[in-house]
Structure 1
Amino acid sequence: MQPPSRRTVLSLGLLTTLTACTSGSDEHHTTAEPPRDPDTPARLRAVAATDRLLGAYDELLAAPGARTALLQPLREDTAQHRAALVQGLLTASASGSDTPAPTATPAGPAATLATLADLAALAALERRSADSHLHDLEEVGPDLARLLAAIAASEALHAAALGDQTPVAAPEGRTATNPAATAAAVPAIQTALGAEHAAVYGYGVVGAHLPDDRQRADARGTHAAHQARRDAWQRLLVTAAASPAPAAGGYQLPFPVASPADATRLALHLETRLTTVYADLVATLPAPYRPRAATALCETALCARQWGAPATAFPGVPG
């Protein structure tokens, strides 16, 4: 191990208008139309998806014997998703877009709601909603991409809470194998690689302090997942003719780890910090690479939940 002065802190938090013109003669003056926010169509689609979910939750919550303790917190998350998306529409409208924000009363299509007779159907609807957000990642601006990825991760958590453990994966970017596009992404990919190097080291510590039981098996599986993700980022860098940054000789832990409880807390810390890293990378990476970061965000949010992370409507987005 390298001396302390060269250790890398294992906090992962240290990683760090269109102008319209008028033309015409003195007799004819053309009034320029206000610019339309290019993110508006994607925002409207996302709002419609949350409306369908809200309608589904309302239907199930109104049913006799509704599992209110399970469903109500998930509905509240979804209402927060909608509010954040509508706020973006209101901001765009204030800056000149002529697209009205959706009405505040959500209502899903009756044909869709009629199929939501059980929790499994609701979980499937959550997954479809998450998939729809992830499909828009390459077409929107960085801020909306980050928000959509966080909402998709939250919906993946909802699906898991409702019993659907199927992984959520964003579609691969259309130009993600283009070496020139990859070259522009090198700094952000190096950040992702550094985060995974730290996580791989951290899970070595986690596994060493857990008893030989289900938790250790889970830690081994997650350790392997981080190794695979690390290797994937390394391959991308090689594609761009860049040298992948090597792992540090040692990493300073955020707190001493001497017991199974400490190990569990470290695993939670690692995954929680990685959600922030990947949410930020969705906004930082060039559009073709956002799907990779968004998939990693969904995976780390699910792992954080497994280690006891508190519920949040926007995984990886503080506040």
Structure 2
Amino acid sequence: MQPPSRRTFLALGLLTTLTACTGGSTDHPADPTPPRDPDTPARLRAIGAADLLLGAYDTLLTAPGAQTALLRPLRDDTARHRATLAQDLPTSSPSSPSPTGTPATGTPTRSLPTLAELAALERRTAEARLDGLSEVTPPLARLLASIAASNALHAAALGDRTPVTTPDNRDASGPTAAVAAVPSLQAALSAEHAAVYGYGMVGAHLPDDPQRTDARTTHAAHQAQRDAWQRLLTAASAAPTPAAGGYQLPFPVTSPADATKLAIHLETRLTTVYADLAGTISAPYRHHAATALRETTLRAHHWGAPTTPFPGIPT
């Protein structure tokens, strides 16, 4: 899927080798051996990380006084991550775990983890998801970026406020990759131009209280992200697309409730933009898209958007 163009994004709510193996009789050649899926090693690593999380969740869920209301939805998300990662793998690969809460096979459960330890594990998993992101196929890059954003959201829900770090692959890019990335970078820049405008409207309709402070902080974050895309485009010898003169909002904004609804809309739409970007941008730049997806997922949740196990990927 190509990332939404400037026009498409605004229309959504903001204006503007195979080697044959032979044997036996030459009259009856053997069937060609299918090539190994290049994503299989990455999928298996990601499944192993999900197993560790599932084991920790299951151990805590069976403990006396377990915070089931908090842990169960996060555990269910993790089970869905694993099932999706395991989909279409060879039958000899690990199968999906039971959704009933049975600890994942091989997961160490000799000691009871704390919520803080589980939160830290979710954060470290979010970071690890993006290792080698430039080496997988675009569909898996999109999926891993989305799951990493979900892991970061889980860590925050469990109380971990440590910033998630992202691998920096800038040195891996060359002139060819930079040129190939320009259309995707321009689309991301256009999305942030629209978000900056939208947050100007959000802040203007919120009372002078912590919500307005949040809007100002988020407005500044989108300005910083806009500037980051502009720097990448300049480094790629491309002229950044300027902002439009104005943008049409998806609905009238006349009250604080409307302003909050608009903030949710802006961030939710950006999760889709950045999940798609992670699967379409040139490989060395995928970590930029994954980082942007994670941050907009956390902001969407902050404003009250419903959570999803796959941020930015329609169910």
Compute the TM-score of the two structures, normalised by the length of structure 2: 0.89
- What are the equivalent positions in structure 2 for 1:208-227 lying under 5 Å apart? 208-227=204-223
The answer on 1:288 being equivalent to 2:293 is: no
Residue 189 of structure 1 aligns with an amino acid whose one-letter code is L
Match of 1:310 among 290, 297, 306: 306
> Structure 1 CA distance, aligned partners of 2:107 and 2:9?
50
Provide the rounded CA distance (Å) in 2 between the counterparts of 1:221 and 1:122: 29
Q: C-alpha distance in 2, partners of 1:101/1:146?
A: 22
Q: Structure 1 pair 86/206, CA: closer, same or farther in 2 (3 Å)? A: same
Return closer, same or farther for 1:302/1:107 CA change in 2, 3 Å cut-off. same
User: What CA distance in whole angstroms lies between the structure 2 residues aligned with 1:200 and 1:175?
Assistant: 29
| Separation in 1, partners of 2:106, 2:308 | 24
Residue in structure 1 matching 2:230, options 230, 234, 237: 234
Distance change >3 Å, CA 196–CA 115, structure 1 → 2: farther
Is the contact made by 1:52 and 1:107 (CA closer than 8 Å) also made in structure 2?
no
Distance 1:30 1:268 in 2: 57
**CA separation in 2, counterparts of 1:264 and 1:277?**
20
- Report the CA distance between 1:114 and its aligned residue: 4.3
In the alignment, the residues of structure 2 paired with residue 282 and residue 9 of structure 1 have an alpha-carbon distance, to the nearest angstrom, of 16
Residue 241 of structure 1: how far off its partner (Å) = 1.2
For residues 186-218 of structure 1, give each alpha carbon's deviation from its aligned partner in whole angstroms, at most 9, with x where no partner exists: 000000000000000001111111111111111
Shift of residue 129, structure 1, vs aligned partner: 1.2
| Alpha-carbon distance change, 266 to 35 in structure 1, aligned in 2, over 3 angstroms | same
TM-score normalised by L of structure 1: 0.88
CA RMSD of aligned residues (A): 2.3
Residues 1-319 of structure 1 mapped to structure 2, 5 A cutoff:
10=10, 18-22=17-21, 32-89=32-89, 93=90, 100-105=92-97, 106-110=104-108, 113-114=109-110, 116-175=112-171, 177-319=173-315
Gaps of 5+ in 2: 1-6, 98-103
- In structure 1, list runs of 5 or more residues that go unmatched: 1-6, 94-98
> Per the alignment, do residues 108 and 297 of structure 1 end up closer, same or farther by CA in structure 2, a change over 3 Å counting?
farther
2: CA distance between counterparts of 1:32 and 1:9? 44
The structure-2 alpha-carbon separation of the partners of 1:116 and 1:179, relative to structure 1 and needing over 3 Å to count, comes to farther
Instruction: Say whether the 8 Å CA contact 1:11–1:253 is kept in structure 2.
Output: no
In the TM superposition, what is the alpha-carbon distance from 1:115 to its structure 2 partner?
Answer: 5.4
Aligned pairs, number: 301
Q: 1:61-84: per-residue Cα shift (whole Å, max 9, x none)? A: 000000000000000000100110
CA distance in 2, matches of 1:207, 1:104: 45
Q: Report the 3-state secondary structure (helix = DSSP H, G, I; strand = E; otherwise coil) of the residue aligned with 1:158.
A: helix
